[in-house]
Amino acid sequence: MGSPSRFCEHVLKISSLILLICIPQIANLCCCNDSVTTSKIQNHEMVSSLQTLALDGYLSMEDNEHAANDFGNIYHFPPLAILYPETVYDISRTIKHIYEMGSGSEFKVAARGHGHSLQGQAQANQGLVINMKSLQGKEMKVHGGEMPYVDVSGGELWINILHETLKHGLAPKSWTDYLYLTVGGTLSNAGISGQAFRHGPQINNVYQLQVVTGKGEILTCSKNQNSDLFYSGLGGLGQFGIITRARISLEPAKKMVKWIRVLYSKFSTFSTDQEYLISLENTFDYIEGFVIKNRSGLLNNWRSSFNPKDPFQVSQFNSDGKTLYCLEMAKYFNPDETEAMNHVESLLSALSYIPSTLFQSEVSFVEFLDRVHISSIKLREKGLWEVPHPWLNLLIPRSKIHHFAQEVFGKILLDSSNGPILIYPVNQSRWNSETSFVTPEEDVFYLVAFLSSAIPFSTGTHSLENILTQNKQILDFCHNAQLEIKQYLPFYSSQEEWRAHFGPRWELFAQRKSTYDPLALLAPGHRIFQKASSTSR
């Protein structure tokens, strides 16, 4: 082992080497801590200066913890303050003030509607959250004529728009499945439901927007006025401005809905029928589908809301241990329209579903559109609403959907009891390529939505960790198999991933960001444009 002196000398050399290695890291750590401390001081100074502004609404500095939560319930970034604006000028003055303070600050601003984001997108760590629901402005106003529309606040809920427009015999054309969401929130993403194959997403059914940019400017935009901002704001993830008003396209509303569910045992037959229905001019008004794995007593559970065509055949059907595919359809009609019901029968006769699984129901137009809210109430009562929701939403080209189904539904997913799995096709021709939203480049693509809920403190298949691992397996498979998918409600951790998401449209997206939000103040929760030292990473 050598002499004690040589051993001590050896230890001294190693200790010196370790110290030399650690010094830069300690220095960097100190630097980092100094940077974070400086940033926090600057942010507090920013909030203090905001308190000097003359506002119709008000700033809240206390009890703001709720703004660090969202429906996803995974990320929690508390703001320093919340703005409760009464007018659009409150939002404009506030953002303009922050913008004029210059680029030295890392203070960020997020617009928050109903807090239904999944990955902290409506949060602003140590920044400012704008509560859009408090925005008053002009009242909701419905306009009739050949091209009817409604003017609404960006903080208005779609359920309120439904009730108000129905007073005039009108309704929006395109919806989301859940209506307790704000207009600004869904238009900043896309707004997709079972009507999208026909009318496109909600962003395709907008005539005009009022937007407050990252400079604090209040701009009215449409396809003929400030069109660049109009199209960039639609599906723009809040990166270019805050949508404070919108003019939504309407159509005559029906009073009733024929609501139908049928089952398939083969994915190929299921997808063929879905694609056939969306290819027709005169078809159902709503078409969705979902995947069912290992569900026992499925059809008996439907009986509370649907009537089986043949109760005896239904009683003989066994769903245990099977992977099944449900096609869900709806036809809007008025009570005196017998022709519409005849057409429903004609459409059903052309499909190849399992005959014993035909379930039908007739409900009001409002009851159908607000169907998810009823389910949410039941989940709240059971304490299963405010849990983590690690949702994964994918847009998959039609040419790749069968490979996806075979691998994901057949091998990766062993159980679907964590939440619904939606799957349905839409027509590319109904989506406006000028908006910021990106889709797969095929005539038809599928939305596949894994709407999982994690059970708190669980360590099994229902745990957050397990669901996130499963989501990663799905994404890794899509990447390795080169399926050329796009995420809906996208979430990435690096700008390189965002570049890949937007592909050839990234340069335009980044250029628009520098034009309308040059200091990258807005929507920091998406983590698209951020400094390397940002504390919200």
**Six-digit token pair at 137?**
């402005």
**Six-digit token pair at 10?**
């050896």
Backbone angles phi, psi at 232, to 5 degrees: -70, -35
The H or E element that residue 128 is part of is strand 128-131
Q: How many CB atoms lie within 10 A of CB 294?
A: 15
> For residues 352 and 280, is the Cβ–Cβ distance under 8 A?
no
**The one catalytic residue among 70, 90, 106, 116:** 116
Using CA atoms, how far residue 147 sits from 197, 252, 253, in Å, is 21, 10, 14
Query: How would you classify the pairing of strands 241-252 and 149-153?
Result: antiparallel
Which string of b and e fits 414-425 if b means at least 16 CB within 10 Å? eebebbbbbbbb
Helices (H), 69-182: 88-100, 158-166
In angstroms, the CA 356 to CA 298 distance is 13
**Six-digit token pair at 109?**
């601003």
Give the residue among 103, 82, 33 at the shortest CA–CA distance from 529.
103
In the residue annotation, 517 being an active-site residue is answered as no
> For residues 123 and 525, is the Cβ–Cβ distance under 8 A?
yes
**Contact partners, residue 44, CB within 8 Å, separation at least 6:** 80
- Residue 212 pairs in a beta bridge with 218, 242
**Contact partners, residue 257, CB within 8 Å, separation at least 6:** 330, 331, 332, 333, 362, 363, 364, 365, 367, 368
In the residue annotation, 177 being an active-site residue is answered as yes
Give the residue among 394, 491, 373, 402 at the shortest CA–CA distance from 449.
394
Using CA atoms, how far residue 59 sits from 82, 236, 508, in Å, is 6, 27, 35
In the residue annotation, 389 being an active-site residue is answered as no
In angstroms, the CA 526 to CA 528 distance is 6
**The one catalytic residue among 70, 106, 164, 177:** 177
Q: DSSP assignment, residue 460?
A: S
> For residues 129 and 118, is the Cβ–Cβ distance under 8 A?
no
> For residues 82 and 64, is the Cβ–Cβ distance under 8 A?
yes
Query: How would you classify the pairing of strands 444-450 and 421-427?
Result: antiparallel
Helices 495-502 and 506-516: crossing angle in degrees, nearest 10, is: 120
DSSP string, 409-458: IIII-S--TTS-EEEEEEEGGGS-TTSS----SSSEEEEEEE---PPTT-
**The one catalytic residue among 70, 285, 288, 370:** 288
Coil/strand/helix, residue 275: helix
3 state SS for 43-71: HHHHHHHHCCCCCCCEEECCCCHHHHCCC
Active centre residues (catalytic) = 116, 177, 288
